[in-house]
């Protein structure tokens, strides 16, 4: 994985919903007289109004930009926090429009420079998707059936963190300095405003307290984690029967039927006939417009050599095969030999929300010489894989954006082979380090969290970390690390896992040429095995720590993924708390 060849393609929905409750519980007193005696700033905003602007923007990194984005609202004496959030997001939307126009105006000759042409085209896609998603988010503000404010803040951070990645990584794949600078310059305002939104949302409880929100509202901020319901559900996982007791009945029946072999799918794919389609791509094209509920695709045993994408319009696709190693989806796209952008190397890309896969192998056969060569890429929020194998070398699993869960999977690779900017939890899985090229090392993870208050990171829980047979005799010669920090606030946790003797005692590797080891968050908790000894961990990592049970709980599924809210509906078994 090259640091400048990562692409993020996020979605946004629910960005503004926090404004509804804020507006309901707080009407800012924008008062003050309109005459000179009341005092106004250079923009004609009264001193009283300016105080509220300052309060709202106090956690923003770019305070002047924040103030300018909401200054027109400050003239309104009855403005609410909802109005302020509307103004801030609308200003971001306008800035993204301008960024997109810069990308549109950047023309690259495809014949003379095919790689940078592809990179710019990808950038246009990313920014256009951001525009559409920001527009869609405005439409949900009036939704009357909303969760608690605390739930919405977490959701907002999930989506806004992806929006930031949308913009900043748009340019990471561009290699031509002239094109790169043009796009970056055109995106400055948009990235700053998105950065501000993340920081304000992350501190929303403090913002509300600054405006003297009532105790009832403050209680809502902390309800989720400590509720009796949440605590009870920590103990009700029924792994023997695969499904937690509180699963929706329809989903429990669906997955139970699939396990018994008598599930009736919407479509069947069979390479050798016997189904409606011979290709997975063909089956996905049958996805009905305005489909509601799960769309079930059964892929029979066989090797499917095709590049597959589950588009954003294809929500709640459940795809299952005859088992990993039997149903195989394979490709060999790569960066080094083919000059393909990292995201476009993916053999399988899941974009539609709520994608679930079971019993399938996702494979990229480019080999270590292909460098970036993704087997499975997901920018599907609330997605889950179970009983799957994800096979490659460099950049095997790309947890692109949003919340993702992996259970009972086998994931193999060499350099940065589990990487991304989303929020991922890999549970009860086998992580296999493979033999890299000569003079290379293995890094299992490379998280790309860029802002301190954004959401993002990867957790390996109750996993086994082992070498493949080709690496085994060389496991002490070829260095293998838990990971290295792709971005400044890279967050990675290895907990309750069995670590083989292949792991370097240093545990973690710095990213050469950067100083991310000063700010990244690398944690371990209750690991076992010969590689679990932490006494010789790399001291260059200033914030490395061995956690206790209270701090480690933050990284279990219930809190890390807000799992109670969505994971049961995927039909995938999971432990919501500790596994041991």
Range with the poorest average pLDDT among 13-27, 112-126, 183-197, 370-384 = 13-27
Residues 540-551 pLDDT 10s: 999 999 999 999
What confidence tier does 94 reach under pLDDT thresholds 50, 70, 90?
Answer: very high
The answer to whether residue 484 is domain-embedded is: yes
Residues 347 and 334: beta-carbon distance below 8 Å:
no
What 3-state DSSP class applies to 539?
A: coil
Asked whether residue 25 carries a pLDDT value surpassing 50, the answer given is: no
- Label residue 256 by pLDDT band (50, 70, 90): low
Percentage with pLDDT > 70 across the chain: 79
Q: What is the CATH number of the domain that holds 503?
A: 2.160.20.10
The residue ranges of DSSP E strands in 351-472, in sequence order, are 356-358, 361-364, 376-378, 383-386, 389-391, 397-399, 403-407, 410-413, 415-420, 423-427, 430-433, 442-447, 457-461, 464-467
How many domains does the chain contain in total? 3
Coil, strand or helix at 276: coil
Q: What is the mean pLDDT of residues 14-39?
A: 38
Q: Are residues 394 and 455 in the same domain?
A: no
**CATH code assigned at 208:** 1.20.140.40
Extract the tokens encoding 287: 């996805």
Beta-sheet strands, E only, within 154-232? none
Are 439 and 405 contained in the same domain?
no
User: Is residue 214 packed enough to be buried (19+ CB in 10 Å), middle (13-18) or exposed (0-12)?
Assistant: exposed
Regarding whether 201 and 345 lie in a shared domain, the answer is no
Considering the candidates 381, 395, 447, 562, report the single residue annotated as catalytic. 395
User: Of 503, 540, 491, 501, which is closest to residue 518 (Cα–Cα)?
Assistant: 540
**Chosen domain end from 413, 446, 464:** 413
What average pLDDT does the chain have?
Answer: 83
**Rounded to an integer, what distance in angstroms lies between the CA atom of residue 93 and that of residue 133?**
10
Q: Packing angle between helix 81-105 and helix 114-139, nearest 10 degrees?
A: 160
**Contact yes or no for 275/300 (Cβ under 8 A):** yes
Which one is catalytic: 133, 416, 447, 562? 416
Residue with tokens 């969290």: 449
Could you give the CA distance from residue 487 to residue 169 in angstroms, rounded to a whole number? Answer: 11
How many residues appear in the chain? 580
395 carries an active-site annotation: yes
Question: Could you tell me if 210 and 138 lie in one domain?
Answer: yes
What pLDDT was estimated at residue 200? Answer: 87
65 inside domain: yes
Q: Does the structure show a pLDDT above 50 at 423? A: yes
Label residue 335 by pLDDT band (50, 70, 90).
Answer: very high
Q: How far apart are CA 417 and CA 432, in angstroms?
A: 10
Are 203 and 324 found together in one domain?
no
pTM: 0.86
Based on the fold, state whether residues 400 and 441 are members of the same structural domain: no
Which pLDDT belongs to residue 369?
Answer: 97
Query: In this structure, is residue 378 part of a structural domain?
Result: yes
Q: Which of 271-280, 367-376, 387-396 has the lowest mean pLDDT?
A: 271-280
Last residue of a domain, one of 353, 382, 413: 413
Residue 83 token pair: 């109005």
- Which segment of 158-162, 528-532, 554-558 scores lowest on mean pLDDT? 158-162
| Phi-psi category of residue 334: left, alpha or beta, with phi > 0 → left and psi -120 to 50 → alpha | beta
Residue ranges making up the domain that contains 348: 265-413
Among the candidates 192, 224, 256, a domain finishes at 224
User: Comparing 25-29, 161-165, 320-324, which segment has the lowest mean pLDDT?
Assistant: 25-29
What's the Cα-to-Cα distance from 429 to each of 233, 475, 527, rounded to whole Å? 22, 20, 14
Which residues are bridge partners to 397 per DSSP? Answer: 376, 418
Q: Which two tokens stand for residue 271?
A: 């390479």
Same domain, 337 and 456: no
Check whether residue 115 and residue 152 sit in a common domain: yes
Q: How many CB atoms lie within 10 A of CB 273?
A: 7
Q: What pLDDT score does 229 carry? A: 34
pLDDT of residue 531: 98
Q: Are 451 and 60 in contact (CB under 8 A)?
A: no
Does residue 109 sit in helix, strand or coil? coil
């Amino acid at each position: 994985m090259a640091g400048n060849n990562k692409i993020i393609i996020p979605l946004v929905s629910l960005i503004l919903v926090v404004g509804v409750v804020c507006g309901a519980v707080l009407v800012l007193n924008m008062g003050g007289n309109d005459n000179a005696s009341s005092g106004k700033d250079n923009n004609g905003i009264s001193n009283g109004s300016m105080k509220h602007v300052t309060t709202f923007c106090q956690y923003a990194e770019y305070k002047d930009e924040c103030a300018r984005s909401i200054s027109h609202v400050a003239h309104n004496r009855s403005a609410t926090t909802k109005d302020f959030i509307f103004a801030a997001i609308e200003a971001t939307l306008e800035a993204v429009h301008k960024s997109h126009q810069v990308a549109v105006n950047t023309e690259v000759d495809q014949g003379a420079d095919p790689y940078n042409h592809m990179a710019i085209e990808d950038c246009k896609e990313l920014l256009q998707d951001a525009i559409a998603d920001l527009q869609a988010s405005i439409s949900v503000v009036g939704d009357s059936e909303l969760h608690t404010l605390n739930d919405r803040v977490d959701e907002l951070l999930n989506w806004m963190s992806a929006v930031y990645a949308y913009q900043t990584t748009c340019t990471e794949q561009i290699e031509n300095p002239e094109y790169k600078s043009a796009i970056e310059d055109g995106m400055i305002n948009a990235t700053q405003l998105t950065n501000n939104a993340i920081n304000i949302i992350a501190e929303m409880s403090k913002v509300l307290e600054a405006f003297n929100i009532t105790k009832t509202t403050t209680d809502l901020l902390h309800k989720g984690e400590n509720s009796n319901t949440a605590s009870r559900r920590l103990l009700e996982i029924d792994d023997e029967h695969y499904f937690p007791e509180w699963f929706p009945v329809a989903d429990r029946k669906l997955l139970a039927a699939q396990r018994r072999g008598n599930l009736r799918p919407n479509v069947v794919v069979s390479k050798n006939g016997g189904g409606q389609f011979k290709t997975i791509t063909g089956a996905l094209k049958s996805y009905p417009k305005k489909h509601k509920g799960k769309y079930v695709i059964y892929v029979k045993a066989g090797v499917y050599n095709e590049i597959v994408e589950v588009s954003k319009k294809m929500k709640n696709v459940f795809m299952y095969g005859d088992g990993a190693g039997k149903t195989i989806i394979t490709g060999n796209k790569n960066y080094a030999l083919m000059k393909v952008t990292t995201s476009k190397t993916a053999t399988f890309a899941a974009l539609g929300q709520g994608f679930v896969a079971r019993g399938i192998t996702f494979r990229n056969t480019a080999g270590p010489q292909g460098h970036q060569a993704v087997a499975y890429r997901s920018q599907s929020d609330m997605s889950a894989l179970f009983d799957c194998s994800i096979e490659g070398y460099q950049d095997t699993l790309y947890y692109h954006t949003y919340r993702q869960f992996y259970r009972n999977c086998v994931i193999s690779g060499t350099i940065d082979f589990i990487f991304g900017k989303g929020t991922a939890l890999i549970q009860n899985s086998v992580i296999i380090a493979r033999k890299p090229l000569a003079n290379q090392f293995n890094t299992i993870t490379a998280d790309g969290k860029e802002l301190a208050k954004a959401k993002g990171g990867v957790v390996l829980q109750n996993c086994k970390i082992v070498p493949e047979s080709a690496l085994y005799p060389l496991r002490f010669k070829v260095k293998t690390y838990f990971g290295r920090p792709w971005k400044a606030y890279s967050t990675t946790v290895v907990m309750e896992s069995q670590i083989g003797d292949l792991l370097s005692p240093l545990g973690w590797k710095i990213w050469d040429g950067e100083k991310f080891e000063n700010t990244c968050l690398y944690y371990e908790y209750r690991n076992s095995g010969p590689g679990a000894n932490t006494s010789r961990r790399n001291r260059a990592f200033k914030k490395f720590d061995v956690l206790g049970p209270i701090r480690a709980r933050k990284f279990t599924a219930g809190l890390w993924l807000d799992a109670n809210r969505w994971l049961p509906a995927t039909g995938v078994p999971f432990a919501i708390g500790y596994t041991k």
